[in-house]
Structure 1
Amino acid sequence: MIDLFRSNNVVVRSVPAEDVSRWVVTFDHYGIGPGFDRPGFGEDFLRQSGVSAIHVMGRREDWYQYPEMAEAMAAVRRATAQADRVMTYGTSMGAYAALRFADAAGANTALAISPQYSIDPAKVPFETRWLQDSHRIQWLPEIDGLLVCGCRPVIVFDPAGEDGPHIRRIEAEINIVPVDIRYSKHPSTTYLLETGLLKSLVFDVLSGAFDAGAFKKEAGERRRHSSTYLSRLAELQPPRRHKTGMALARRACEIAPNDPIALGVLGRYCGDAGDHEQAVALHERATEVSQRAANCLVSHGNALVAAGRLEEALALADEVIEQLPEQAHLRAWRSLILWQLGSVDPAINAIEEAIALDPHQPRYLHTLERYRERDERTGGDGAFGRLLRFVRRSARTTRASGPARLLRSAR
């Protein structure tokens, strides 16, 4: 294991195998963890498979907008100069990088699973999943400008989800091999792992033997036994098809009883049906099997709120904020729980913390306006009115952004 390049922002780590005629260059996905004292994306899998790998690791979730990326990629290119095959590889944020840096890395091919074209609000106003990060990041035109890729990358994605518009933008600028797997969720890596297709995909793309038509056919045939597919299909059912959605969610849990995604979807269906006791139990199980992952903690907390168990929900909010202290939407969510508990001053403090972390979010202002109206109607001292003026002053100096999904769900 050798560091080919290191700066405060990025590390390029080489993990060669016996065969150095082919290399996979990986990029981190969102949430892989801060710093560099950790494995690179796919490191264990590639090492065990006897594949030489170079792992490009970012300091945080910055979509690799670092001025030294050209130098980092030059180090990759030097290390693989004698190789027969070089493939860039990543999922979600890492897939964005696999496309953007394929040429700079000297790649013959690229495998991008559920990539973004960009998350810069100026370029993709439809993208609302990483709003706080999108406003925080300084987008570099030499990295996030017009997409150029000399090879023809293989892109796997769910056309029924939020990734579809990104793929259309990508396809308008470069020639790709699209592999659309409907209802495979974001990222499609989960579906590929569950159905046993990921390993063959990686090796076939790396070798140049990938057959997109045959792969799509096989992926379609395996979906009936996929909890990922059934869970996503359940999520997309309209309210009038509640029974169908519930049946799909139950089937997903039968296939994978310890899948936190399937448990969470079924839990939401139970909650919508008014069975809050069962909903909480399912979300609690999802939290346990996910080893208390942040998204499961939030869903569990929302189920507790719906069940009227606010003190328990607040404890989970504190736990998830400890995991992700820089996420403003979690502070806003905690504020809403505190408000429902009648803890006005702590609720104000929590929303102030959210504003300080992300002053671009107009949803906070809208929610506070509603709070102010309630405060005045109930004869309160107008505390939220004072905070509202503070938010308006902050908002005047920043750009507006789209909705925060967790804030909507908590409301």
Structure 2
Amino acid sequence: MFNPGQDRLFVSFRQRTQEAGAYSEAVPVRSFVSAGYTHLHLQARLNDWYINSETQALEAELDRFSRQFAAVHSIGFSMGGYAALRFAKALNLSHLIAVSPQYSIAPDHVPFDRRYRKFAKEFDPDLGGLMEREHPVQGVVLADPFRTADLVHAQMIDLVFPGMSVARLAASGHPATQVLRQGGKLGALQRLLRTEMVGVSQLCKLHRTSRRGSPVYWRHLAQRAEQSGRQELAATAERRHIQLMKDKASEKAGR
């Protein structure tokens, strides 16, 4: 925890990591700490989507801890986005940006998504299910519509959490902030959350203003166009991707 004693709380969650089995060094999110938030960073030691023998104890502690705050905001990525939704009620979460989160990783819940099956062996579908954990949190789920599984997860979440809307950021990848990151818009994303102005239109606008200069966007667009048989668009997007990569390499070499 960073900057304790404030009346607003920002919560972040570690996402799925190659460093599973150990905790990583936590650092404060400066924009929230500077704006007068207490920052709580939560980590799961394993890639277990925070569902384990300690889940209920954590839930009880978060419920006790969060009562002192007038507002609780969060940003979560993939596994971290799922965790923000799973603990939304315990945290009394008011505003959330969930980036490419999962509705669940239990095969019975999401038979269409096999990406996380090796992590789902110990996943308790009752303890990890979102259906019974509706909470009136307001915010947006970001998803790349070219990644069908991510979009379906987002739509399922939208049904359980009616205060959450789905922002479709085409060719944004997983997590769906890759284009925003390349466009230097993550700070703007955080400002929207702090000012509680998080909406689909605002986030789609940030994406549009970032994609022209984003190699990731053009690479993903080229791949999608190729898959759908739009060869001319695929070739144009691939040329744009290559040129942007060359421009960035030249810029880096000139520094």
TM range (shorter): 0.7 to 0.9
Q: Distance in 2 between matches of 1:46 and 1:74?
A: 28
**Kept after mapping to 1: 8 A contact 2:31/2:190:** no
For 1:42-67, what per-residue CA distance to the aligned partner results, in whole angstroms no more than 9, with x for missing partners?
x3544785243111111211111123
Whether 1:235 aligns to 2:223 is yes
Q: Secondary structure at the match of 1:237?
A: helix
Report what 1:252 is aligned to.
241
Q: Secondary structure at the match of 1:25?
A: strand
Q: Secondary structure at the match of 1:230?
A: helix
Q: Tell me which amino acid in the other structure corresponds to 1:207.
A: T
Note the residue ranges of structure 1 that are not aligned, 5 or more in a row.
1-13, 264-411
Structure with greater contact order relative to length (CA < 8 Å, sep ≥ 6): 2
Q: In the alignment, which of 91, 98, 103 is matched to residue 84 of structure 2?
A: 98
Q: Tell me which amino acid in the other structure corresponds to 1:172.
A: L
CA positional deviation for 1:200: 1.8
- Find the structure with the greater CA-based Rg: 1
- Residues 208 and 66 (structure 1), Cα distance of their counterparts in 2 relative to 1, 3 Å cut: same
For 1:232-267, what per-residue CA distance to the aligned partner results, in whole angstroms no more than 9, with x for missing partners?
1011123655564344234223224498xxx9xxxx
CA RMSD of aligned residues (A): 2.6
Q: Distance in 2 between matches of 1:16 and 1:80?
A: 15
The TM-score normalised by the length of structure 1 is 0.54
- Residues 35 and 133 (structure 1), Cα distance of their counterparts in 2 relative to 1, 3 Å cut: closer
The TM-score normalised by the length of structure 2 is 0.83
Report what 2:50 is aligned to.
64
CA positional deviation for 1:114: 0.7
Q: Tell me which amino acid in the other structure corresponds to 1:39.
A: E
Q: In the alignment, which of 114, 122, 134 is matched to residue 148 of structure 1?
A: 134
**Kept after mapping to 2: 8 A contact 1:112/1:154:** yes
CA positional deviation for 1:21: 2.4
Report what 1:169 is aligned to.
156
Q: Secondary structure at the match of 2:187?
A: helix
**Kept after mapping to 2: 8 A contact 1:77/1:105:** yes
CA positional deviation for 1:128: 1.9
- Residues 231 and 206 (structure 1), Cα distance of their counterparts in 2 relative to 1, 3 Å cut: same
Q: Distance in 2 between matches of 1:195 and 1:158?
A: 16
Higher helix share: 1
Note the residue ranges of structure 2 that are not aligned, 5 or more in a row.
250-255
Q: Distance in 2 between matches of 1:98 and 1:207?
A: 19
Q: In the alignment, which of 186, 192, 200 is matched to residue 198 of structure 1?
A: 186
Report what 1:139 is aligned to.
124
- Identity over the aligned pairs, expressed in percent? 26
CA positional deviation for 1:35: 3.8
- Residues 145 and 191 (structure 1), Cα distance of their counterparts in 2 relative to 1, 3 Å cut: same
CA positional deviation for 1:34: 2.2
